[in-house]
Structure 1
């Protein structure tokens, strides 16, 4: 069911094509620039979302165009649980956000879900107010952390029995198993390999030479930092940090992160960022190695 829109707007599903990805990225970039004064989302991230094996673009996405054919808003819902809605600043106060929220909720119900989440930057008070008015409540807090890389980062010696090297071909399945095992402790569902890969190692910005892996003496992977290169921002980005449960509290995460920071610095990057949230309990770890909070978001949830 398509949403009721003002007469000057038309809607259609998105496609996993470069043209639609570029248009969505341009819309998201305008929204991020207005909110944060910078653009964080890359077009490869948009393509990764559109090509998720758990998302059918024909049914789970919607693009709203104005009379001139320009993209004014977009929405998508994945597995009836997670959703995103973005409205171009020039097209706000037209009811598009509320209409798309109606649509993602209706689609989630069609998929049999009894709840839905949406992440909103804490800067975006208007969007947060709309969600609260519609019965959404805060679920978790997310933080984007950053660290400046003005000098060659110091890297501690590995713990006894641990060796570290960069990611290379053949490490894919072990890295998937390790990170999903670690994230099982707080994530709602375990990602299938194809979905995980689209957001990590298959992205155009994946940086294997900067991604660091820790191995035990028996050759088993026990820790991983998977990183992306963001040249347009002159920054690195850490997509995944994971340490096997029986190897925690040995300094492995700190070792891998600082190894990755050093590698980014040697490539000329000026900073590195990552996201974490309140369910992981990892904020204090990142702060201890010198990272600071750049901005925060809230994941809102609604049940019915």
Structure 2
């Protein structure tokens, strides 16, 4: 096993026996590895859940954030033939992502990547670090065996093809439109980020990072970001809800990536209105299905199942508590 010097990650904690992987290579990933990562993650998703939701644009959107240093935050393990067998990324704080392609599981790669992530997170002063894995999967068994504990549960949902969400009537002075202006895009950023921060323990993303994952994501179209506005007492408009969605290239579905309503405008049907709106627009663009995900921190599962959506997969977020002097997860 060799390490590419031109893009070498900090391998502290990555304990792999070179003799067990003759001719394999460990190196930091590059931007042009995004397709290989998406392929590896898709293989894992298909094996673990029977469905594929990841696409290369997801990886590109994450990696093009100004705050993300690919060389410093990633590690890839490549076979002697150059195939990406496993990878991990730790951008900071308490979240990471990783996968091991199914044919290469059971060789210690998952454990080595977990050790690497924990070592990096510990060095950054994180108290814990974790990631979501499909319930009942190899990943869940591995991380629980390493002492990772469950933080929350999340669900992927899909609207059956024979179900439609009725679009509720908007009160006078309310309207939905594409977020194309600088003011609307900035307001959508605040509404979405502030709402997610009510239950997510992280710092507010910068606008530049937010834009990288939304407006600058490959394939973005103006209708992918819609905002619900209302007339303010001052006579001006204010954005009180926003939704960001994409067309999933795997099976042509509209995937709602982010949906939020400002705290002072909730329980007025705005989330339902935005879902009905974006699903209707999606149909005009040839969408064949409608999907989203939520987790137990938001309390929104009942909203979506009440609209007729059905759970297609369940995930658990497992995390390791990091001691200052501990050498592993």
TM-score w.r.t. length of structure 1: 0.93
User: After superposition, where does 1:106-121 map in structure 2 within 5 Å?
Assistant: 106-121=119-134
264, 274, 292: which one pairs with 1:274?
292
Once residues 285 and 224 of structure 2 are traced to their aligned partners in structure 1, the CA distance between those partners, rounded to angstroms, is 9
Residue of structure 2 in register with 1:230 after alignment: 248
User: Equivalent residue of 2:222, what SS?
Assistant: coil
User: Is residue 31 of structure 2 the alignment partner of residue 16 of structure 1?
Assistant: yes
User: Which deviations, in whole Å up to 9, do the C-alpha atoms of 1:185-238 show, x marking residues without a partner?
Assistant: 111122111222222222123342254311111310001111111244110011
Once residues 129 and 123 of structure 1 are traced to their aligned partners in structure 2, the CA distance between those partners, rounded to angstroms, is 7
User: Equivalent residue of 2:308, what SS?
Assistant: coil
Residue of structure 1 in register with 2:319 after alignment: 301
- Matched-pair contact (CA < 8 Å) for 1:152–1:265: no
User: After superposition, where does 1:25-104 map in structure 2 within 5 Å?
Assistant: 25-104=38-117
Residue of structure 1 in register with 2:5 after alignment: none
Once residues 93 and 195 of structure 2 are traced to their aligned partners in structure 1, the CA distance between those partners, rounded to angstroms, is 24
User: Which deviations, in whole Å up to 9, do the C-alpha atoms of 1:151-203 show, x marking residues without a partner?
Assistant: 77531211343212233242221110111111121111221112222222221
RMSD between aligned residues: 1.7
Deviation at 1:49, TM superposition (A): 2.4
Residue of structure 1 in register with 2:327 after alignment: none
Residue of structure 2 in register with 1:148 after alignment: 160
160, 164, 189: which one pairs with 2:176?
164
User: Equivalent residue of 1:53, what SS?
Assistant: coil
Cα 1:101–1:231 shift into 2, 3 Å = closer
Residue of structure 2 in register with 1:203 after alignment: 217
Cα 1:236–1:156 shift into 2, 3 Å = same
- Matched-pair contact (CA < 8 Å) for 1:205–1:230: no
Residue of structure 1 in register with 2:15 after alignment: 4
User: After superposition, where does 1:115-194 map in structure 2 within 5 Å?
Assistant: 115-124=128-137, 126-150=138-162, 154-170=166-182, 171-189=184-202, 190-194=204-208
- Matched-pair contact (CA < 8 Å) for 2:26–2:75: yes
Once residues 224 and 143 of structure 2 are traced to their aligned partners in structure 1, the CA distance between those partners, rounded to angstroms, is 38
Once residues 297 and 164 of structure 1 are traced to their aligned partners in structure 2, the CA distance between those partners, rounded to angstroms, is 32
- Matched-pair contact (CA < 8 Å) for 1:224–1:241: yes
- Matched-pair contact (CA < 8 Å) for 1:149–1:269: no
Residue of structure 2 in register with 1:248 after alignment: 266
User: Which deviations, in whole Å up to 9, do the C-alpha atoms of 1:230-280 show, x marking residues without a partner?
Assistant: 244110011111111111111111111111111112222121111111111
User: Equivalent residue of 1:27, what SS?
Assistant: helix
Once residues 267 and 58 of structure 1 are traced to their aligned partners in structure 2, the CA distance between those partners, rounded to angstroms, is 37
- Matched-pair contact (CA < 8 Å) for 1:148–1:270: no
Once residues 77 and 146 of structure 1 are traced to their aligned partners in structure 2, the CA distance between those partners, rounded to angstroms, is 29
- Structure 2: where are the runs of 5+ without partners? 1-9, 323-329
Aligned length: 301
TM-score w.r.t. length of structure 2: 0.86
